[in-house]
């Protein structure tokens, strides 16, 4: 196979990939409850391939900075992590090879509690923040982090295990939410961030976590987005997971114009290459 023919073949593959991706971008978030076991990593990798998200955010990976190479998923070569030396916490963002994603800036902490990526997805600016809040003082931690990252939060999707039910509907025991949670909700409002699940399912009591110690269900895993982008949030759902004590959440974002534009650019190049070969 000649070089030009190879290039055409690559263009054709890329075109098909881009067309498959558009127009909806699925984002999945899950607390995996540790990834140190090779069997668990294999199962999680299989689950990611099955779900086929454009962006996959994992929390509580328990990987140290030295272990980061252990997480490998075919088809998701871009893997960005914030890990903890003590193998506690840990967050990861995996981005599918099928999309045109370019990272411009990465912020993360040494405790493995959050990672933020600013970049472009199909030539459109996007900021992703993946958070694993500590078990104690979670609402305060999330509120403080939002304040620290305030300047970066624009066209942003924030996901993660926030260890916080935001409303009484988010847990089976319907007690009132405390002062810290009220203050976190106020901060989200001030920053024009919405709880996408609650916005699209105002009356559904969906849960992501079962506490065997308390015998209660709650929704402590969340996906937030900018209120201005509400029309882009096509669908959000809770997906059961059999290898963690948490369920996953999946959001589909409408990136129709950009994805189609990307596909057309590749198609045009492909057509031009084929014409060159014909002559």
- Residue at token pair 């990272």: 103
| Residue 42 labelled as part of a binding site | no
> What is the SS3 assignment for 44?
helix
Helical segments of 150-255, H only: 179-190, 196-200
| Residue 24 labelled as part of a binding site | no
First to last CA, the chain: 18
Q: Is the dihedral of CA 186, 250, 16, 79 positive or negative?
A: positive
- Active-site pick, 62, 100, 132, 197: 132
246 is catalytic: yes
| Residue 161 labelled as part of a binding site | yes
Contact criterion met (CB below 8 Å) for 71 and 34: no
| Residue 246 labelled as part of a binding site | yes
Please name the helix (run of DSSP H) or strand (run of DSSP E) that holds residue 143, with its range, or none. helix 138-148
- Active-site pick, 161, 170, 195, 221: 161
Omega cis (within 30) before 23: yes
197 is catalytic: no
Distance, C-alpha 56 to centroid of its chain: 5
| Residue 245 labelled as part of a binding site | yes
Contact criterion met (CB below 8 Å) for 64 and 82: no
- Active-site pick, 114, 207, 246, 255: 246
**Residue 279 and residue 272: Cα distance in Å, rounded?**
11
**Residue 46 and residue 49: Cα distance in Å, rounded?**
5
132 is catalytic: yes
Q: Is the dihedral of CA 230, 232, 238, 241 positive or negative?
A: negative
Annotated binding residues for Mg(2+), as ranges? 31, 161, 163, 245-246
Active site residues: 132, 161, 246
Annotated binding residues, as ranges? 31, 161, 163, 245-246
């Amino acid at each position: 196979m000649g070089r030009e023919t190879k290039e055409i073949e690559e263009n054709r593959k890329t075109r098909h990939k881009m067309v498959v991706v558009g127009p909806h971008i699925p984002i999945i978030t899950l607390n995996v409850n540790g990834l140190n076991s090779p069997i668990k990593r294999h199962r999680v990798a299989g689950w990611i391939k099955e779900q086929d998200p454009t962006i996959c955010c994992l929390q509580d990976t328990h990987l140290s900075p030295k272990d980061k190479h252990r997480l490998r998923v075919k088809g998701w070569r871009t893997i960005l992590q914030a890990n903890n030396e003590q193998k506690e916490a840990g967050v990861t963002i995996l981005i599918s090879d099928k999309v045109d994603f370019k990272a411009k800036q990465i912020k993360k902490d040494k405790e493995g509690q959050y990672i933020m990526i600013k970049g472009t997805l199909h030539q459109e600016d996007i900021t992703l923040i993946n958070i694993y809040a500590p078990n104690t003082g979670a609402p305060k931690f999330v509120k403080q982090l939002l304040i620290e990252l305030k300047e970066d939060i624009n066209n942003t999707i924030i996901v993660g295990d926030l260890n916080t039910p935001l409303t009484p509907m988010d847990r089976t025991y319907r007690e009132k939410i405390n002062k810290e949670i009220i203050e976190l909700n106020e901060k989200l409002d001030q920053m024009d961030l919405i709880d996408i699940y609650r916005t699209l399912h105002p009356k559904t009591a969906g849960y992501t976590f079962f506490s065997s110690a308390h015998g209660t269900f709650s929704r402590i895993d969340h996906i937030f987005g900018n209120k201005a982008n509400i029309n882009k949030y096509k669908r959000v759902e809770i997906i059961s997971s059999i290898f963690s004590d948490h369920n996953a959440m999946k959001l589909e974002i409408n990136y129709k114009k950009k994805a189609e534009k990307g596909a057309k650019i590749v198609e045009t190049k492909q057509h031009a290459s084929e014409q060159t070969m014909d002559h």
